[in-house]
Amino acid sequence: MKNFYINTLTNPKGLKKDQYDVIIIGAGIGGLVCGCYLAKAGLKVLIVEKNDKPGGYCQSFERDGYRFDIITHGLTGFRRTSPIKNILDKLNLFRKVNIARADPADVIIYGDRKIHFWNDTKRTIDEFKEIFPHEAKGIEEFFKFLSITNFTSLYYNYRNDTFDKILNNYFKDKALKGIFTSFLGVMGLPTFRVSAISATILYREVIFDGGYYPIGGVGKMSYALSEIFKEYGGNCLISVRVNRLKIKNKKVEGVILDKNEFVSSKYVISACDGRQTFFDLIGKNNLPKRFINNLEKLLPSTTVFIVFLGVNRNDQKNIKEGRAIWYTSDYTKLDEIYFNIYKGHLNLKDDNILCIFNLFGDTSLISKDKDAITLIISVPYKTPQYWLRNKEQIALNLINRATNVIPYFLKNITVKKIITPLSLYEWTLNYRGAVRGWAAIPEQISRDKLYIETPINNLFLTGHWLTFPGGGGIPIAIYLGYNTAKWILKFNQ
Ligand SMILES: Cc1cc2nc3c(=O)[nH]c(=O)nc-3n(C[C@H](O)[C@H](O)[C@H](O)COP(=O)(O)OP(=O)(O)OC[C@H]3O[C@@H](n4cnc5c(N)ncnc54)[C@H](O)[C@@H]3O)c2cc1C
């Protein structure tokens, strides 16, 4: 790693500074996968990343001997036959990173019961049927629907629909519908606003193929990809921000960095925030009015408030159940709470679903009697002053609520770090700290909004800010990273 990153524009191949085939803006997971495939195909590729580490949101950090991942829920789509696994396999990623799977992956606390999402789905179905016997038929059919559905059939049948339509097809019980609303917390959208396609795919992946995590943290996966990029001959500038794109006659000619330094290239790929790309790096004057109007109308996904905690267990029992624990006292209220968040309101008294993540299986960095725990809720974007005023109180609320689930918790906290939406924005420049690109609402899931090609010639997009297939998340960013690389290779023939 040490000698990998170049901090000057003279690269190891002795090329002059303005001779790249492709420059990629951003070393998030989308930019890295895209860069690997292009460099593998023999193109001269430069990735420019404003942070001092690759990974974007796929990042780990350490504090006083505890390791935390910024992304929390974990990886989906890593089964042997999955296209995402295949994309990474072809880069030989699994030579460098071991992926483990939690079993159960998720646990929902429902009153005094627990519903486990086991790797063996039949066991999960049986638990649901035991708790909701009057919905047994619907449960069987819903899981069957999830298991046989694919993106094409969903798109064909449900592209204008929201997820409540699907839930209503199978269930009557409000609490059960509420339980199948919980995971929408990662999108911060109620069932009657979230796209039926995005939500179904989310549930399908989490239920049948969830709970994976890289041993050593997700940052390890990002580092491994950046090493692979280097092995294929790629170059990366870190701690350097792209400030502008140079556009001439509606064609991109390269990027302008800090200190006005210009680097030219045949193609530029933006793997960072969609609004920044067009409004800041290009400027409205260089874009068609209609395109700007459409972009201005797009809504970002919601953001999150996170508390990272290092907890000393002191002989207490490990919470060895699930990588993610989901908790609220009333699941029937979730739709209303998510709708308020979507509308920009945050009621601190709301019993918003609380996700508690832990790395119980992975003791690569913390010792056996310590837990690295993450508490997270979705929230709307608020002003910096708002977070300054309220963040300690919100963190305390979350810690108190988590104590309902993990009783030894409160007394044994040794590390506490709060991350607000503002910190997420500052880290990645994702608009308003958006967690998953654009909001996954039906009218925004379309190739006609923001896809790989742009109104600027030779400028392409990748990562979670594309509106198709939509929904954001790591598998989508990986898939799009690969797809954009394929697109350019075809274009370049
Ligand atoms: C708290 C949290 C938890 C999450 N949990 C999960 C999860 O469990 N599972 C899941 O699938 N998804 C999860 N997600 C979503 C997932 O992390 C993202 O959808 C995905 O990582 C996006 O990858 P990306 O490469 O498209 O973008 P990003 O990760 O945003 O990367 C963009 C990169 O571009 C760089 N950049 C931006 N502007 C510039 C510039 N001008 N010059 C140079 N560099 C620039 C940024 O610094 C950043 O490194 C989570 C997100 C958050 C915030």
* Predicted confidence (pLDDT) per residue in 131-176, tens digit: 999 999 999 999 999 999 888 999 999 999 999 999 999 999 999 9
Distance 486 CA to ligand 1 centre (A): 21
Domain CATH code at residue 406: 3.30.519
Helix axes 218-231, 29-40, angle to 10 degrees: 20
Q: Indicate which residue's Cα is closest to atom 22 of ligand 1.
A: 464
pLDDT at 18: 53
112 shares its domain with 153: yes
Distance 414 CA to ligand 1 centre (A): 28
309 Cβ closer than 6 Å to some ligand 1 atom: no
326 shares its domain with 412: yes
221 shares its domain with 149: no
362 shares its domain with 460: no
Q: Indicate which residue's Cα is closest to atom 1 of ligand 1.
A: 71
pLDDT at 6: 42
pLDDT at 80: 80
Q: Please check the confidence at residue 357 and state whether its pLDDT lies above 90.
A: no
Whether residue 152 lies inside any domain: the answer is: yes
Q: Indicate which residue's Cα is closest to atom 7 of ligand 1.
A: 73
Whether residue 199 lies inside any domain: the answer is: yes
Better-scored residue on pLDDT, 405 or 327? 327
193 Cβ closer than 6 Å to some ligand 1 atom: no
Q: Indicate which residue's Cα is closest to atom 31 of ligand 1.
A: 28
223 shares its domain with 269: yes
464 Cβ closer than 6 Å to some ligand 1 atom: yes
pLDDT at 11: 41
Q: Which of 71, 75, 223, 418 to mutate to test the pocket of ligand 1 (most atoms within 8 A of CB)?
A: 71
Could you give the CA distance from residue 60 to residue 67 in angstroms, rounded to a whole number? 7
Query: If we measure between CA atoms, which residue out of 195, 227, 170, 219 comes closest to residue 47?
Result: 227
306 shares its domain with 424: yes
Whether residue 114 lies inside any domain: the answer is: yes
Whether residue 384 lies inside any domain: the answer is: yes
Tell me: the pLDDT tens digits for 439-455? 999 999 999 999 999 99
The alpha carbons of the chain give a radius of gyration, in whole angstroms, of 22
Q: Residues with Cβ < 8 Å from 313, sequence gap 6 or more?
A: 369, 370, 371, 408, 412
Q: Report yes or no: 182 and 240 within 8 Å, Cβ to Cβ.
A: no
pLDDT at 2: 35
Q: Indicate which residue's Cα is closest to atom 53 of ligand 1.
A: 435
Question: Count of domains in the chain?
Answer: 3
472 Cβ closer than 6 Å to some ligand 1 atom: yes
Distance 437 CA to ligand 1 centre (A): 9
pLDDT at 294: 96
Whether residue 6 lies inside any domain: the answer is: no
Atom of ligand 1 at shortest distance to CA of 32? 25
Token pair listed for 236: 């990366």
224 shares its domain with 285: yes
Domain CATH code at residue 80: 3.50.50.60
Q: Indicate which residue's Cα is closest to atom 50 of ligand 1.
A: 71
- CA distances for 177 relative to 132, 186, 205, 341, 379, angstroms: 11, 17, 18, 19, 22
133 shares its domain with 184: yes
Atom of ligand 1 at shortest distance to CA of 73? 8
Q: Which of 203, 474, 478 to mutate to test the pocket of ligand 1 (most atoms within 8 A of CB)?
A: 474
Could you give the CA distance from residue 253 to residue 282 in angstroms, rounded to a whole number? 12
125 Cβ closer than 6 Å to some ligand 1 atom: no
Q: Indicate which residue's Cα is closest to atom 48 of ligand 1.
A: 56
Average pLDDT along the chain = 91
48 Cβ closer than 6 Å to some ligand 1 atom: yes
268 Cβ closer than 6 Å to some ligand 1 atom: no
Atom of ligand 1 at shortest distance to CA of 30? 25
Q: Which of 24, 204, 255, 272 to mutate to test the pocket of ligand 1 (most atoms within 8 A of CB)?
A: 272
pLDDT band at 406 (very low <50, low <70, confident <90, very high): confident
Helix axes 136-148, 121-131, angle to 10 degrees: 150
27 shares its domain with 134: no
Task: Measure CA of the first residue to CA of the last residue in the chain; give whole Å.
Answer: 33
139 Cβ closer than 6 Å to some ligand 1 atom: no
pLDDT band at 16 (very low <50, low <70, confident <90, very high): very low
Q: Please check the confidence at residue 125 and state whether its pLDDT lies above 70.
A: yes
Atom of ligand 1 at shortest distance to CA of 424? 53
Whether residue 450 lies inside any domain: the answer is: yes
Mean pLDDT along residues 256-270: 94
Whether residue 1 lies inside any domain: the answer is: no
pLDDT band at 9 (very low <50, low <70, confident <90, very high): very low
Give residue 94's domain range. Answer: 20-98+216-298+439-491
pLDDT at 454: 97
Where do the DSSP E strands lie in 179-334?
A: 212-214, 235-237, 242-248, 251-257, 262-270, 303-312, 324-327
Q: Please check the confidence at residue 476 and state whether its pLDDT lies above 80.
A: yes
Write the DSSP symbol of residue 95: G
Tell me: the pLDDT tens digits for 175-218? 999 999 999 999 999 999 999 999 999 999 999 999 999 988 99
Picking from 409, 428, 447, the residue at the C-terminal end of a domain is: 428
311 shares its domain with 383: yes
The model's pTM = 0.95
Picking from 178, 209, 240, the residue at the C-terminal end of a domain is: 209
Q: Please check the confidence at residue 288 and state whether its pLDDT lies above 50.
A: yes
Give the H or E element holding residue 356: strand 354-358
Four-point Cα dihedral 297, 298, 299, 301, nearest 10: -170
Dihedral pair phi/psi, residue 480, rounded to 5°: -70, -35
Atom of ligand 1 at shortest distance to CA of 462? 26
Query: If we measure between CA atoms, which residue out of 291, 287, 273, 275 comes closest to residue 449?
Result: 291
Where do the DSSP E strands lie in 215-350?
A: 235-237, 242-248, 251-257, 262-270, 303-312, 324-327
Atom of ligand 1 at shortest distance to CA of 430? 30
132 shares its domain with 274: no
Atom of ligand 1 at shortest distance to CA of 464? 26
Distance 56 CA to ligand 1 centre (A): 4
448 shares its domain with 412: no
Whether residue 9 lies inside any domain: the answer is: no
Picking from 186, 209, 232, the residue at the C-terminal end of a domain is: 209
Tell me: the pLDDT tens digits for 419-442? 999 999 999 999 999 999 999 999
